[in-house]
Amino acid sequence: MVNLAEKKGAVLSRIPGRAIPLAHTVFGVSAFLLALIIGCYGHYYKIVQNGVAGYPDEWFPSVSATTGDWYPERNICQILIALTAGPRLVLCYLWYLLIVRNVPPQGSLRFAKFLLTNDIIRTVACGGWVFVTSTDDHDIHDVAMMIYLFCTVPHVIGTIKSAPQNRRAQKYRRIFAYTFFGALVPMIYYFIQHNVHRVPGAYTKYAFFEWSLIISDLAFDAVCMIDFQTFELRVVDVGMSDKDEFATYNELRTFGGGSKSSSVFNQVRPREALSYVADVYLGFIFWSMLTSLPLMIWYFPLWNMGLSGYEAFLFCNVTVAFLGIGALRRLVERNKGQLHLLSLVGVLSYKILDPAYRLMAVAMGVSISLLTWGATFFGQRHQHGRAERGALSLALGLILHNVVKQGWWANNPIWPIMHAENGGQNMIGLLLGILASAQIMTRKEPHLNEAKSIESSKVSEHWVQAAIGAGGYLFCMHSMYTDSSTIGRWALGGYPNTGPFPVAGGLMVVIAMAIGLALSAERSLATSIKWWAVGSLGLTVLHVHEGNFSFAGGLVFTVYALSLFPTLIRSLSRHPPGRTFLVAMMTYNVLALAHVWVVAYAFVPGGEIMREHTDYVLIAMQLCILLGIRNANPSAGSFLVETRTRTAFVATRLYARLALMGLVALSLLVCLNRVPRSAPQPYHPEHKLITAGIWTIHFAIDNDMWNSERRMRDAIRDLELDVIGLLESDLQRMIMGNRDLTQFLAEDLNMYADYGPGPTKHTWGCTMLSKFPIKRSTHHLLPSPKGELACAIHATLDVYGKEVDVIVSHNGQEEDLLDRRLQTTELGRIMRESNNPFLFLGYVVTRPGAGEEIYELLMNGGHIHDVEVSDWDRWCEYLGFRGVKRTGYARISHGGITDTEIQVGKYQLLENHPTSWDKTQSIEEFRKEEKYEQIPEEQVPKGMRFPSIFYGQGIRNHRFHVFDRPYYYA
């Protein structure tokens, strides 16, 4: 290439290859160093100040404070970082060329493209957290930083693995890699000390490790100066070259990649692309029906408060074992399109009003779909390209399922609990399913003699291990990756360390899933014990910790988990289908039941064994997967195939890459559409009014087994609630469809949300929605030695410039008196120790009135007033207050959404009203302050009244009930 250019005399300029990493390092170091020097000179006391302490406790500034808050250091840093972007992008491309040149051709181009894509995303993310500072937008800044750190892992590992074997360069790389990742642990520790425990001086120590990351990062890339000593960049005028020589030059420039790339893109034909889209959509249909099955089963024990018998439908999946009957299997193989069409009965089931019959139709759809996909995998086991296509189609269908649920706020619009009135698009989904099935029926499938292949080595695998591995893996996918917000909710902590919210976090999970599936082509990686250990470490971090650190561990596990998809599916399909699929499904069923038992232990036989032991389930899942990957023979994916089959395989991978890019882009568009446009505002700030309510909503499934989020939204909006506690609201489990009602309600009502204790805390959940900013919150697991675990949120809100504390709690059941006594005592302690005005919104099983032990533990123990002491007809929901002026109280019927009413109190936060209380005051003296003088509605300003639409028959079956009107107080 060089000689050709020199021969024509067309070289206009020469640039040494090492100049690129040198320029990158100089600009990068200058950006941060100058910002640090100028910042310390001009704004030292301001940039060391933080939300916990200032000088002298904090005496060294963080990177964010140095580069993000003040002029001119912020602007100088951003200008120099912009100058760094050019050399950095060129550096990414040069490394791509270096990999292609130095690594043997098998797999090198694919790996080089992956690393180039990762490094470009990493570069853009760097711009994200540098140019969008935490002062500009804290969430975008943090998300960009997390994407940058997440992409740094494959960047560092990939660079070390693909680098030329220069011992000096590799030595320095490993040193800087160890210092980079080694600094993360103490950095996170001191960040927690600062952000959670609020320890003065901890942020300075955090800052030292944060700056060390910058140094290690820049130094790691600077090592490329050693590798590029033999590189030279030339600006060449090829206009004088003749046609043949220019073609030769172009081919050499791409290291022969041009012709290969062209041949691959020639495989993209509209008919074949449409066929691939049909397969992916039917994969989406499969995941839609599979995830709806346990959700619909859950409806029956929910209303029976125990086992109902309908749980047996979970085992409808064992019908896939009928594939062991040869004649039936061949019949299914020959009629896959027709059977996919029949399976759509699970989508059509939304037309059935009776919940039991609707469940039966879904179970039938799941059974037929499993038979069809099982026959597809088994029938393609000797057709490498088509087998790869089947596995990737199902995996891409899973990612599509996540993206679609992002667009519908964690609901699937074709689930049988959805219909037109609550946002469903069942008919559109059904019609697309019919078209996809028709495409399969009309396509020409190759016969075995048209696409035969010969395995390059004997496969030494055992069917039992393959089955257990596949069953554990299916459970993993269903329980953790059928909604993009599940990992974020597993990582949930209280404010401010909540971890990422569903919009940004969901996008990051989809990207991680795409990266994992892209890595699935490396079969030796998928079956590596070291890779399994990395995934297990990520899962451990996700389960044990909270907040951003936990979420980062979840992303690592996500990449690991999706990278196994084709390998484990291929391993499953190489064995006798009857017994293999049967054991796989039974493994999945056992893990699914255990996953339910950890929280539903109070209602199932033998529940004490699994009580609060998600760790047992995760360990069993990982051991099943380990068995599967150790059994999977990576060489079993290596085939000597005819040209036609090899071309199909290459085209399959191309379609998969295009689909992944499209799905990530679609997820990004969905997330951009869901970004809040304005800050929440209370309904009646002119009166400094707080309207607060409590409601037990039965997991957002109404009395007729329809999703109830939109009906809940309407009731909350019409009641003009500024704060509401929602109980039985943790839907991030298989039996609730891995949903998240807070997403839709918070975004549509424009409210802040605290999800409460996450799914790994083994409660039924409590959520708080607020029009007021949440300054901080703590999630409590109340003492529960015998019965079900009770949850509580203790949050501090910024209400009209003052701090007001709110508790949302869901206590135990009537059968467990000791639990209720201990739980209520703990709630009383929390309320009693607060100096702020307090609102209690909770579920406490007791009768009201003096002499009731649990009632007195709550009201007297917490030093709060009951919203209405004369209301004797209450059993489980209670409102209490202290330090605010009560102005109204009402009870509103549930409207068929659940079996529990809505209770609402109206309060004012007034300047002349005492907002604190004397803790030395006895409960008798405190009770003397109670005033319950009721006044007629006509004396109440209009903005402080309850909406009149709830009088009489009300609206949408919501009405004032019990005393058929609201109470108002002087």
For 912, the 3-state DSSP assignment is coil
* Cα→Cα distances 672→499, 710, 754, Å: 19, 22, 22
User: At a CB cut-off of 8 Å and minimum separation 6, what does 189 contact?
Assistant: none
H helical segments located in 564-634: 565-573, 577-600, 607-610, 614-631
For residue 195, report the phi and psi dihedrals to the nearest 5 degrees. Answer: -80, -35
Count of helices and strands (H, E) across the chain: 34, 17
Which amino acid is it at 191? F
Residue 205: CA atoms inside 13 Å, Cβ hemisphere, count? 16
d(CA 376, CA 914): 72
User: At a CB cut-off of 8 Å and minimum separation 6, what does 290 contact?
Assistant: 366, 369, 478
For 736, the 3-state DSSP assignment is helix
For 197, the 3-state DSSP assignment is coil
For residue 325, report the phi and psi dihedrals to the nearest 5 degrees. Answer: -85, 110
Enumerate the β-bridge partners of residue 904.
Answer: 693, 890
Q: CA torsion sign, 804 to 810 to 814 to 818?
A: negative
d(CA 600, CA 619): 19
d(CA 320, CA 586): 11
Category of 843 on φ-ψ map: left (φ > 0), alpha (ψ -120 to 50) or beta? beta
810 is catalytic: yes
DSSP state for residue 921 in the 8-state scheme = S
d(CA 905, CA 837): 15
DSSP state for residue 960 in the 8-state scheme = B
Radius of gyration (Cα) for the chain, nearest Å? 31
Are the C-beta atoms of 888 and 882 separated by less than 8 Å? no
Are the C-beta atoms of 229 and 18 separated by less than 8 Å? yes
If we measure between CA atoms, which residue out of 561, 474, 475, 470 comes closest to residue 513?
A: 561
Residue 279: CA atoms inside 13 Å, Cβ hemisphere, count? 25
Q: Is 562 exposed, middle or buried (0-12, 13-18, 19+ CB in 10 A)?
A: buried
For residue 409, report the phi and psi dihedrals to the nearest 5 degrees. Answer: 55, 50
Are the C-beta atoms of 808 and 792 separated by less than 8 Å? yes
DSSP state for residue 764 in the 8-state scheme = -
Task: State CA 455 to chain mean position distance.
Answer: 39
Q: Which two tokens stand for residue 346?
A: 């699970």
For residue 756, report the phi and psi dihedrals to the nearest 5 degrees. Answer: 85, -170
Of the residues 43, 401, 810, 958, which is catalytic? 810
The residues that are catalytic are 810
